[in-house]
Structure 1
Amino acid sequence: MPELPNSPEQVSSVFRQFDDVDFLLILGIAVASYLAIVTSRWCATWLTGRLPTRFRFYILPWIPLFRILFVLTAISQIVPLVIEPTASNLFAVFGAASVAIGFAFKDYVSSLIAGIVVLFERPYRVGDWVSIEGHYGEVRSLGMRTVNLMTPDDTMVTIPHNSMWSSAILNSNGGRRDMQCAPKFYVSPTHDGDHVRQKLLDVALTSTYLHIDHVPVVVAKQLPWATQYTVRAYPFECREQFAFITDLTLRGNAALRQIGIKLLVAPPSITQSAEL
């Protein structure tokens, strides 16, 4: 096994002489890598804006992969320009760098490794609607270390990838363009269940946001204080989920009142537990 340099003379023999280093070429490689990353991101965004919506989930996830490839390519080109490209020198430099980085940037490196895992296991990708550590939103971009979520209230949340080691990730659509929405209705137990279920089903079937490839389903559940009806249906596009839920809720409440059904409000304890 090659020995690590332990004297100034050995260290100086690892690196090239200052006059031999082509700093202009190194700068050119770094700039070219940066321009390649920016260009690939712009091209992907440009394509998704002109192709049908469904292609967004296939094109955008490649952006972070190309970014890593460009960075690794730049590093592989720059390192031989700075050190003498021998096996012992490469082993010495990368070994020392690994130890230093491991101690100084443990959490940062953990996030980078998690980012690589995300690229292959794909627990979330650009365009997915996910919940991570209590934050729910659309995945707008995947960096090498973090994921950016845009929440429903238009707030950008940045979360390190290494949060996947210790917390669950809830993915609502898993790379698909549609997702299930499930607004709930609470009514007095003294009612005609078939009539209520049919009314809510009619409301879902006549919604302008409904994805017709998925048949809506109404599920009833008896609670101690009310009967809960859940309308499980899919909007045509994930970004329409809030408009879809609003439409089902308002029209569903109106339809139930029209047939004389008494609507109930969930107790505070139920509401608080659902928000946690």
Structure 2
Amino acid sequence: MEELGLKGALSTITSDAIIEAVAVVALASLLIMAVQKLLPMLAQKLSGKPRLYLLAMVPLLRLVIIVLTIVMVVPILVEPSFENMLAIFGALGLALGFAFKDYANSLIAGIVTLYEMPYRPGDWIEINGQYGEVRAIGTRAAEIVTLDDTVIVIPHGLLWNNLLANGNDGTDNLMCVAELYLEPNHDVARMRELFRDVIYICPLTKTYQPVVVAVQGTDMGMKYRLKAYPLTPGDQTRFIADLTARAAEVCAAEGVKMISRPLLLQ
């Protein structure tokens, strides 16, 4: 019965209807391209949360345009009677349910992502062991760029069953940690003060944010963690490298030997 209803609905399609539907799809495509180009350009002129919210609107508007296009095209191709609409959308829903179950899962998760905003463009996140900056958020997946300049596509569906770590959470404050292992039997208080000076001397340090030098005695030596904020999240690699190099110079000047953790574990 449903098959007969679907055939009857498709039999009403005419060449004029196809031309009109193609025109609507082409117009929707142009509109999506305009949204994807103009909104990021406008966002570049803003700062803070308004910029992030504007960037997050891009995939949402794209999804709205796609849904409206489908709603407009189907009545153009098929006579908009209750039986025809029921047959078309029923068959479409059944096909999509089987063929694109995982895609639909990620799509729904994408809608939740746009609402809850666990990450935004510009955030540095880690999920499933992958760490990088969110470059773009689509309706199905997000793109992140790792510190090694590798683009990774992460389906939003991973949000359901995986932990997500967000380093800066929509701000430009990203804490970085430089870890050092030193041999014991040295003046811990003096080394802490020297390492604090190292952090403040570094030109990449955001000095108005908290600076912490934590120390812990372990079976691998005295573990120091130099925690501070770089000027921008994108400076994190150079920032940690600079802190480590300056701290190594201090250790050499004070006669305190650094421990290579991998060698010690062997």
- Unaligned regions of 5+ residues in structure 1, if any? 272-276
1:114–1:164: 8 Å Cα contact kept in structure 2?
A: yes
Rate the CA distance shift 1:241–1:41 in 2: closer, same or farther, 3 A.
Answer: same
Rate the CA distance shift 1:32–1:135 in 2: closer, same or farther, 3 A.
Answer: same
Q: Secondary structure at the match of 1:182?
A: strand
1:69 matched to 2:64: yes
Count of aligned positions = 266
1:101 matched to 2:108: no
1:212 matched to 2:207: yes
1:50, distance to aligned residue in structure 2 (A): 4.1
> TM-score normalized by structure 2?
0.91
After superposition, what is the alpha-carbon deviation per residue over 1:163-206, rounded to whole angstroms, capped at 9, x for unaligned? 22222222111111221101111111211111111111111112
Aligned pairs for 1:41-52 within 5 A: 41-52=36-47
1:245, distance to aligned residue in structure 2 (A): 0.9
Rate the CA distance shift 1:110–1:270 in 2: closer, same or farther, 3 A.
Answer: farther
Aligned pairs for 1:17-56 within 5 A: 17-19=12-14, 21-52=16-47, 56=51
| Identity, % of aligned positions | 33
Rate the CA distance shift 1:220–1:22 in 2: closer, same or farther, 3 A.
Answer: same
Q: Which residue of 1 aligns with 2:222?
A: 227
Residue 132 (structure 2) aligned to one of 131, 137, 150: 137
Q: Which residue of 2 aligns with 1:274?
A: none
- Unaligned regions of 5+ residues in structure 2, if any? none
Q: Secondary structure at the match of 2:184?
A: coil
Q: Secondary structure at the match of 1:84?
A: coil
2:181–2:220: 8 Å Cα contact kept in structure 1?
A: no
Q: Which residue of 2 aligns with 1:79?
A: 74
1:159 matched to 2:147: no
2:107–2:140: 8 Å Cα contact kept in structure 1?
A: yes
> TM-score normalized by structure 1?
0.88
Rate the CA distance shift 1:30–1:7 in 2: closer, same or farther, 3 A.
Answer: closer
2:220–2:264: 8 Å Cα contact kept in structure 1?
A: no
After superposition, what is the alpha-carbon deviation per residue over 1:220-255, rounded to whole angstroms, capped at 9, x for unaligned? 111012111111111121111111111111111112
Letter aligned with residue 204 of structure 1: I
1:20, distance to aligned residue in structure 2 (A): 6.8
1:214, distance to aligned residue in structure 2 (A): 1.0
Provide the alpha-carbon RMSD of the alignment.
2.2
1:21–1:81: 8 Å Cα contact kept in structure 2?
A: no
Moved more, 221-230 or 24-33: 24-33
Q: Distance in 1 between matches of 2:129 and 2:87?
A: 43
Rate the CA distance shift 1:170–1:162 in 2: closer, same or farther, 3 A.
Answer: same
Rate the CA distance shift 1:139–1:270 in 2: closer, same or farther, 3 A.
Answer: farther
Q: Secondary structure at the match of 2:92?
A: helix
1:16–1:82: 8 Å Cα contact kept in structure 2?
A: no
Q: Distance in 2 between matches of 1:216 and 1:161?
A: 35
1:128–1:171: 8 Å Cα contact kept in structure 2?
A: yes
Letter aligned with residue 221 of structure 2: A
1:181 matched to 2:170: no
Q: Distance in 1 between matches of 2:92 and 2:3?
A: 17
Residue 187 (structure 2) aligned to one of 184, 192, 200: 192
1:24, distance to aligned residue in structure 2 (A): 2.4
